[in-house]
Amino acid sequence: MSNNLGITRTSIMNLLADISPMARDYVDEAFEQGVVLAVQSGEEGEGVFLRVASDNLCIFYANFPDDSSPEILRKVSEEIDHSVVTGGELYFNVHGGNARIIQLVQSKGFVLEMEGYVLRYSPAKGMPVALGELVTEAPAKVEWESYVELFEAAYEQLNRENGWDTKGYSKTAETFLQGIKELEKRDRLKSFWKDGVLIGCYIVDGHYITDLVVHPRFQNKGYGSLMLKHCIHFLHEEMGIPDIYLRVTKSNSGAKRLYERNGFTTISHFAEHAYMAK
């Protein structure tokens, strides 16, 4: 990484981890292709603005304790303008607390894809889970369309609040269900049933819980906590994974409270943008 601005690699990685572990890991792997564009240091803390680019992809990252500096905002603006002229896919990942930078990048044509938090669970060991009336075995005849209804119903309010398509699962039902079947075959999806009715499911990918959904008919009955505990137990005891991560959108405060009640702590705050020509 080109760096003549007096900031260490460790400091850069720590600042990116505050955006998300995924940002840190990506830049760490592509470190030699990166360029530090601006830094901030002093009593108020450290900050960084950097770019990692390949032939057809450019990703900016920014995290500052104080993003009100005209010099920083000018530098961000100039770099975006240059990259837009250059072309290719453009993304901008910024700490969710940097409101001025977020406002700037959105004024330049970047669209917010997702803003939220990364949470981590790091217990010494897993826990036994009593599922009670919940069972993980599917009935003899699975109505696969139940998964379309589950995801569409569970995410409807969230999608509506964020202006996302509320019928996306129905529109891509065949592809979606092929993915569900593949996940189940690879033991990355666990579904939960009661009297043959699909209550919810979770999906895992390595250290991450990518989805945990409960049908609205069964919400606020404790099923979400049971499924989460089952997932933690599965990842720790059966998969041998020590630290578990998940992402939750900023608007989904109810889910964030559920995870925090069950031992997860917030470790980063991200705002991910993709460039869309105006």
Residue burial 142-166, b: 16+ Cβ < 10 Å; e: rest: eeeebbbebbbbbbeebbeebeeee
Q: Which residues on adjacent β-strands are paired with residue 34?
A: 52
Q: Does CATH place domain 9-116 in 3.40.630?
A: yes
Q: What is the pLDDT of residue 132?
A: 60
| Statement: residue 238 has pLDDT above 60 | yes
Q: What is the pLDDT of residue 139?
A: 67
Which carries the bigger pLDDT value, residue 125 or residue 196? 196
Q: Does CATH place domain 145-242 in 3.40.630.30?
A: yes
- Express each pLDDT in 31-45 by its tens digit: 777 888 988 877 778
Cβ neighbours for 170, distance < 8 A, ≥ 6 positions apart: 148, 152
* Confidence band for 142, pLDDT divided at 50, 70 and 90: confident
Distance CA 128, CA 25 (A): 32
**Sequence spans of domains, the chain:** 9-116, 145-242
* Confidence band for 133, pLDDT divided at 50, 70 and 90: low
Q: Determine contact, residues 36/5, Cβ cutoff 8 Å.
A: yes
- Express each pLDDT in 164-201 by its tens digit: 889 999 999 999 999 999 999 999 999 998 888 899 99
275 is written with which tokens?
Answer: 């460039």
Which carries the bigger pLDDT value, residue 276 or residue 17? 17
Domain 9-116 and domain 145-242, same fold? Reply is yes
Residue burial 186-197, b: 16+ Cβ < 10 Å; e: rest: eeebbbbbeeee
Distance CA 184, CA 18 (A): 33
